[in-house]
Structure 1
């Protein structure tokens, strides 16, 4: 089973003051997380596999472009923080997986355009 990344924060105690967000809102928040090496957001890169919310807790499964990606810890931390800033999210748990492995085929057309891949 892939590891669950330990949380560094207790989440967002103000979450109960807001309605539970929709999945689309969570995806929009994750588009703010930019891979510092490729300068493309993690959603368009295809790094996000699943995002689910239940009882104000987000469960996200994601990958990296490489198991040895030096920006991995930064991307994971920023993903957690982006999700926990969405009104209505109490806590985000990130699970990193390398199965299935990431390939450029997972990228959106916009990401391919930004990187000059045709």
Structure 2
């Protein structure tokens, strides 16, 4: 039932964006611009997280290579820090990548996103 209502609403709006009032056009454009701005923000955060992850993992890896056996026996193992950095940075990168994809989808199909938001 819900899917049928979405399809009917899409059929009504499909190709008729030029007949919409100026307020509705402005609303759709603002929604699209906000999605574009959020996708840019997500891509900047994604790049920063990837650079930070790579830098920290290289830092801990180099520090672990220079570490003596006595330091490892004391419990400070920098290779484990490197692994934890890769796991945390990788999971954060995945979340920001999914946020980027969702915002790009909202920017490319603003009317469908608005309709789904209204029906949910």
Which TM-score band (shorter chain)? under 0.3
Alignment TM-score, normalising by the size of structure 1: 0.24
More strand by share: 1
Alignment TM-score, normalising by the size of structure 2: 0.24
More helix by share: 2
Larger Rg: 2
Q: Which has the higher contact order (CA 8 A, sep 6+)?
A: 2
